[in-house]
Chain A
Amino acid sequence: MIRGEEFAPLPFFSPMHIKINLFATLRKDRFDTDQREYPTGTTVLAVLNDLVIPEGEAAIIFVNGKHAGPDHVMLDGDTLSIFPPIGGG
């Protein structure tokens, strides 16, 4: 038995489905919108690292339409939207 298999059925290790939306310059060489799987307990920062987005470039982060920081822990079914610094008015 390989290590990990015995843990597989445990909910703690079941993958979460996260919808990710990127905007403006962050779309370049990435995507507009994607559905990805991450282990339970994944933070926003871990997703940023996975997408190779430097923290400074992710100026505005929403989880389900509410402002969130890099330490925010994601839940299954969340929508994560990431914006570079933008403005207008």
Chain B
Amino acid sequence: MDKILRIDMGAEGGPKVTVTPLGEYVGLGGRAMTSAIISKEVPPLCHPLSSENKLVIAPGMLSGTVAAMSGRLSVGCKSPLTGGIKESNSGGQAAQVIGRLGYAAIVLEGKPATEDLFKIVINKDGVKISVDNSLKMLPNYDLVAKMKTEFGDKISCISIGPAGEMKMNIASIACTDMELRPTRHAARGGVGAVMGSKGVKTIVLDDTGMTMRAPKDPEKFKDANKRFVDGLKQHPVSGQALPAFGTNVLTNILSEAGGYPTYNFKQGTFAGASKISGETMAELETKRGGMPTHGCHRGCVIRCSGVYNDKDGHYLTKQPEYETVWAHGGNCGIDDIDSIAMLDFLDDNFGVDTIEMGATIAVAMDAGIAKFGDAQAAINLVKEVGKGSHLGRILGGGAAVTGKVFGVERVPVVKGQAMPAYDPRAVKGVGVTYATSPMGADHTAGYAVATNILKVGGFVDPLVAEGQIELSRNLQIATAAIDSTGMCIFIAFAILDQPETFQALLDLLNAFYGLNLTGDGVVALGQKVLSMERDFNARAGFTSQQDRLPRYFSTESLAPHNVKFDVKDEDLDKVFNW
């Protein structure tokens, strides 16, 4: 990973490839890399779909090595959804393969003058770019099947579906998993629209003939990796709960805690929660011959995912994540698990963010476009998006756009991005993260749910304002750093609770790069990333007024605890004072 691959899609005479040394970006990976390049090279006032924007695809610092959990990919750009900087994170095989091919980043620049659709193939021999208009408007599963026929099954694909080609705000970028299914998405913020604006349908990756990245100190690295894996296995969350039930184990607990946004954030508990819970889903998956435990990339030892089969025992989709089940489930009043799985498949296939799609449908339901609880109507609406009908185009603009078009007053977005599956009034720490993250409302940016609800990393009462600023600050810093390593964020449960597992992570980085990184160094890295991102947003026109939740979260109470979001504005402005 000692070079950057730049592809100018707008070059005269067709796309032009240059490979440059790392230069000032040396030592960076993942989110640190994407945010550094975007903040340095993209004019903050540019239109996100213009030739001036760049799409940066970066494996983490440890991706492509044998380190467990290191296969997360960062995708960065100026977001068409938020208008600010974006880092969207994905599992799947791509990060490991790009790392092994030697690239610390792939940067798509410029914009083709024609409507042609391009296919980029990267392997040990280099980069090949060709026009392939036969791929136009292919959904992700069909696209990958076609690439498999053309290039064999040793490949991994990064691709956009029709939503990305139509440059929708909610368009995702799909990454294939170990079974070559396009089930892992850099979903948030409309990164797929930026890829579409560059005219790139897919990047086909093949690392045949390449080897694992070699650490500076192989012995120390091996030892650190062993301690790291032991720590993950020993922690009850990463060792038992996540593999057994997946992320959807959260449905019941959030509903019990009164923090499960239901009917477009109108109440905090959902009567149908148990029907769509992780417990129910795991049982069903086993019964139908699917899998309740599955890894999204080689090297994952937590394996929080699964395989969801339909009633007849045929593959339908990967195990939908908690946030997906919520977005299409309780938030839309839907308690039919098979419909939710179908919506997950459609989202992946058309290439849209499941969170934004579900939140948008709930806003549309509030507008009377469909009835809460009507699963078939929700499926039809997603199909409209896939077709690109006029209604589909509006919904494809996301929750904020849809709310405006249909005159809906209560639209749960921050910086234009829909809130995920935790009501900020009843889980106030994550409310602080929603308000202040440079990404817009994003739970992963500082997952205070862990400490507010799950009692991991201590306990801060979710229902009171005290302690939430500090909690969110620390988590946002830690997350920015973890997102730069290529590690899956689910290592956080173990490293928050077990100092020796955190040390093992430091030792992995140190043994690989020959560094002497300490805990303070990790904090400094996280702060640096956040500062770059906030600086970009400031230059793009963001002020503290954008670091706020919509007013109604402070003025309207949420049942059953009858709580409002009461963290003070002046305190929100202190999150980034360090």
Contact = CB atoms under 8 A, between A and B. Distances in A.
| A and B co-occur in one complex | yes
Given A59-B236, A62-B257, A87 B454 contact: yes
A67 interface: yes
B253 A60 contact: yes
A11 interface: no
B246 A88 contact: yes
Interface in B202-260: 235-238, 240-242, 244-250, 252-253, 256-258
B482 interface: no
A23 B252 contact: yes
B244 A25 contact: yes
A21 to B, nearest CB: 7
Given A24-B279, A60-B455, A89-B450, A66 B250 contact: no
Given A65-B256, A87-B490, A89-B250, A23 B461 contact: no
Nearest to B450: A87
A68 to B, nearest CB: 11
Contacts of A24: 241, 244-245, 249, 278-279
A83 interface: yes
A84 interface: yes
B542 interface: no
A89 B247 CA distance: 6
A88 B322 contact: yes
A23 B253 contact: yes
B560 A86 contact: no
A88 B454 CA distance: 9
B70 interface: no
B252 A89 contact: no
Interface string B489-513: 1100100000000000000000000
B86 to A, nearest CB: 19
B258 to A, nearest CB: 5
B244 A87 contact: no
Interface string A39-72: 0000000000000000000011010011100000
Given A87-B490, A88-B322, A89-B444, A67 B459 contact: yes
A38 B131 CA distance: 73
Contacts of B454: 59-60, 85-87
Contacts of B560: 65
Nearest to A89: B447
A27 interface: yes
A81 B274 CA distance: 13
B483 to A, nearest CB: 13
A87 B493 CA distance: 8
B36 interface: no
Q: Number of contact residues on B: which range applies?
A: 35 or more
B419 interface: no
Contact of B237 (A62, A66, A85): A85
A25 B240 CA distance: 9
A66 B256 CA distance: 8
A71 to B, nearest CB: 15
B253 A85 contact: no
A85 B496 CA distance: 14
A65 B250 CA distance: 14
A88 B420 CA distance: 13
Contact of A65 (B235, B249, B279, B561): B561
A27 B450 CA distance: 22
A84 B402 CA distance: 40
Contact of B455 (A25, A59, A65, A89): A59
Interface string B402-436: 00000000000000000000000000000000000
B463 A66 contact: yes
Contacts of A81: 256
A25 B323 CA distance: 21
B444 to A, nearest CB: 6
Nearest to A23: B252
Given A24-B244, A65-B256, A89-B449, A84 B250 contact: no
Nearest to B237: A87
Contacts of A25: 240-241, 244
Nearest to A86: B241
Contacts of B450: 87, 89
A45 B303 CA distance: 33
B244 to A, nearest CB: 7
B253 A86 contact: yes
Contact of B245 (A60, A62, A65, A86): A86
Given A87-B242, A87-B490, A89-B444, A23 B561 contact: no
Contacts of B246: 88
B304 interface: yes
B258 A84 contact: no
Contacts of B66: none
A21 B253 CA distance: 11
B235, B241, B274 pick with most chain A CB within 10 angstroms: B241
Given A23-B253, A65-B561, A89-B490, 18 more contacts: A23-B279, A24-B249, A24-B279, A25-B244, A32-B274, A59-B454, A60-B253, A60-B455, A67-B455, A85-B237, A85-B240, A85-B241, A86-B237, A87-B249, A88-B246, A89-B250, A89-B444, A89-B449
Interface of A: 21, 23-25, 27, 32, 59-60, 62, 65-67, 81, 83-89
30 contacts: A23-B279, A24-B241, A24-B244, A25-B241, A60-B453, A65-B258, A65-B561, A66-B463, A83-B253, A84-B240, A85-B454, A85-B456, A86-B245, A86-B250, A86-B253, A86-B454, A87-B238, A87-B242, A87-B249, A87-B490, A88-B241, A88-B248, A88-B250, A88-B304, A88-B322, A89-B322, A89-B443, A89-B444, A89-B449, A89-B490
Interface of B: 235-238, 240-242, 244-250, 252-253, 256-258, 269, 274, 278-279, 304, 321-323, 443-444, 447, 449-450, 453-456, 459, 461-463, 489-490, 493, 560-561
Give the 9 A-B CB pairs with smallest separation, nearest first. A88-B247, A87-B237, A85-B236, A86-B241, A88-B250, A65-B258, A81-B256, A87-B493, A86-B249
